[in-house]
Every structure is written in structure tokens, then in C-alpha cells.
Amino acid sequence: MMRLALAVIVLALLPGPGLSQTKKRTPVKKPVVKKKVPAKKAPVVKKKVDPLNAQMVGTWFLLDSEGKPVKSTKITFTPYSEFTFTGAAWKSAGTFTLRDGWMNLTWTSVDGVAVKPGTLKKKLPLEADGTRFQIDRFRYGKTGT
């Protein structure tokens, strides 16, 4: 028993935690969590609707020699004076205006490649009833016209 008591006394005198002491705990640092800042949204730009272009809005198809639409080639006009011109293996886009029976097309891209502003344009007459127009030798009309 004496040996046990002597061992306890020796351990108590040694540096460091003894029998009656507990080891100090080092506080764990919490990771700094940065608050997420919501990304700034781009301002919504309201596009202007030109009432003079209203008669063009919709999809116009290439017409065959009998006046029937060829569904693979079309031009879609939006109320915001924009158009997309789509064929079997190509696509272009741009803006348009309609004034005094004439339609002015200005391309902004051809096959996904931007066009230098103002370099690719066409001025086309509409037929008297406004239901058809012609680009080069190709006639276009709305479905049912």
C-alpha cells in the first residue's frame, strides 16, 4: 500500500496534469462564415412596342410557286421590332421598321455571328394589302393569307 501512496505523491509532484488536475481544453475556433450577398440583377429594360409595326407581328413563311407555305423557311416578327429569319441550315436576326408600305430590315447577326451595325440592310415593299412581301425572288406571307 505504501508503494501506491508513494506513486500518487510522485505523480502529484510531476509537472503537467496530475491525478486531481484536468487537462485544459483548447477552445475550438469556429470557422468564419461569410454571408452570401445576392448577386445584383441586371436592370430589366422594357422594350418599346411600335404600333406601326403591329401588322407584321407573327410568323411569315416562304411561299412556294402555288402560294403554299414552306414551313422550313420563316421569318418571325416580334412586337418589339425584332425578327428572326430561319431556314433549314441557317439563322439570322435583326430589327425592322415599317413605314409607308415599306419594310426596313437591319441584321444584327447571321448564323450566330454579330454583324457590324448598319452594314446589312434591306428595304422591301409590302404588297398593297400588306399580306405579302418579297426578298429578292422569294415571296413570304402569313399562314392563311
Q: For the residues of 46-97, what is the DSSP string, one character each?
A: PPPP-GGGGGG-EEEEEE-TTS-EEEEEEEEE-TTSEEEEE-SS-EEEEEEE
pTM, to two decimals: 0.64
Domain boundaries, the chain: 51-142
pLDDT tier for residue 13 given thresholds of 50, 70 and 90 = low
The three-class DSSP label of residue 4 is helix
User: What is the CATH architecture of 51-142?
Assistant: Beta Barrel (2.40)
pLDDT of residue 73: 95
How many residues make up the chain in this entry?
Answer: 145
